[in-house]
A and B are shown apart, each in its own frame.
Chain A
Amino acid sequence: MPELLRLLQEPWPWYVSGPLIGLTVPLLLLLGNRAFGISSNLRHACAILLPDSLKPSLFRHDWRAQSWNLMFAAGLILGGLVAATLMRDPQAAQLSGAAVQSLGALGVTVQPGLLPAELTDLSRPGTWGLLILSGLLVGFGTRYAGGCTSGHAITGLSTLQLPSLIATASFFAGGILSANLLLPLFLR
């Protein structure tokens, strides 16, 4: 039993969790012909929250027909809670030496948990800028591109769609630029 608990608390190897992530696509199709994609929930939330006078046509869709996805997002929050309470990993991520060195050069030390202090310490003004700019770009970009990492990189690539390959390549191009050039501006 302590052995099982330790296995659940340790990070799961990519060759175990990767295929399980991939199985989400056929599982949702089998459960009700639903195409896996999380960013649509941001659109649904805009449809629900915005008053009619401020609502662009993009948000005048029938979000009730997509209510399964809102339940999926609620499940994600519960899953995060379960993982953080019952399966919390006391160790810091076992990054490669090169990554530890690169982050160290930016003044970031690798601590236990999923986010560094640079993203959670709200007494630093840089933290607010980082979180807000990141959210704005992700929200705008995902709707412009018609999907996020789940809708394009997982579902779209799994169903061999060329637009999703272009979107995924662009996600990575933007991420590489941002992590290497933009991020240091907020950390220094």
Chain B
Amino acid sequence: MMISTTPSATSSSAPASTAHLLLRQWPFLITGLLFGVLLIKSEAASWYRIQEMFRFQSIHMYGLMGSAVLTGVITTTLLRRTGRRALNGDAIHVPAKTGPTSRYVLGGLIFGLGWGLAGVCPGPIFALLGSSLLPMLIVLAAALVGTWAFGAVQKLL
């Protein structure tokens, strides 16, 4: 199967229309759809399960995340060892997370404080919105304001 993607390095020359640009990314729409189904059916998008997790009252979420990470470690190691290329010919490379540790600790704590309240992180916000839980629009709007606020004060942190 041929997968066409954006000409990443050549985006400065003659920009394609936004709609065309998005349509060419259809394999990612399908992947997102499957992931959205998984978030709901695994109950990772369940407020009840998140509360249970933060009270250490069940193996469910720990097993879910643990087996996801284990699968990710094994498969990405295999990709690296075999030198496999992406379908568009790119060498596979995951960018390293850089920056001061304080960023991960403080940002992480703030994120966690929000996660423990409505029980949602960004993925479930979108998936729950799709399952017509419209109060998630309020969370999404607030998350956009929060993201903007970080951009506004970034230089002071």
Tell whether, in the assembled complex, residue A21 and residue B64 are in contact, meaning their CB atoms are under 8 Å apart: yes
Residues of chain A whose beta carbon lies under 8 Å from any beta carbon of chain B:
8, 11-12, 14-15, 17-35, 38-39, 41-43, 45-46, 49-50, 56-59, 62, 64-65, 67-84, 87, 92-93, 95-96, 98-99, 102-103, 110, 114-116, 119-120, 122, 127-128, 130-150, 152-161, 163-164, 166-180, 182-183, 186
Tell whether, in the assembled complex, residue B152 and residue A56 are in contact, meaning their CB atoms are under 8 Å apart: yes
What is the minimal beta-carbon distance from A64 to any residue of chain B, in angstroms? Answer: 6
Please indicate the chain B residues that have their CB under 8 angstroms from the CB of A158 in the complex. Answer: 69, 71-73, 75-76
Tell whether, in the assembled complex, residue B34 and residue A79 are in contact, meaning their CB atoms are under 8 Å apart: yes
Interface size class of B (residues with CB under 8 A): 35 or more
Residues of chain B whose beta carbon lies under 8 Å from any beta carbon of chain A:
3, 5-6, 8, 11, 15, 18, 21-22, 25-55, 57-61, 63-73, 75-76, 78-79, 84, 86-88, 90-99, 101, 103-123, 125-133, 135, 138-152, 154, 157
Please indicate the chain B residues that have their CB under 8 angstroms from the CB of A8 in the complex. Answer: 41
What is the minimal beta-carbon distance from B56 to any residue of chain A, in angstroms? Answer: 8
With A26-B79, A78-B130 known to touch, is A138 a contact of B111 (CB < 8 Å)?
Answer: yes
Among A46, A73, A127, find the residue whose CB has the most chain B CB atoms closer than 10 A: A73
With A79-B35, A80-B127, A119-B118 known to touch, is A134 a contact of B90 (CB < 8 Å)?
Answer: no
**Complex-state Cα separation, A74 to B21, whole angstroms:** 14
What is the minimal beta-carbon distance from A48 to any residue of chain B, in angstroms? Answer: 9
**Complex-state Cα separation, A25 to B53, whole angstroms:** 23
- 10 residue pairs, one from A and one from B, having the closest CB atoms: A174-B112, A79-B36, A75-B32, A170-B108, A139-B146, A80-B130, A158-B72, A135-B142, A178-B116, A145-B107
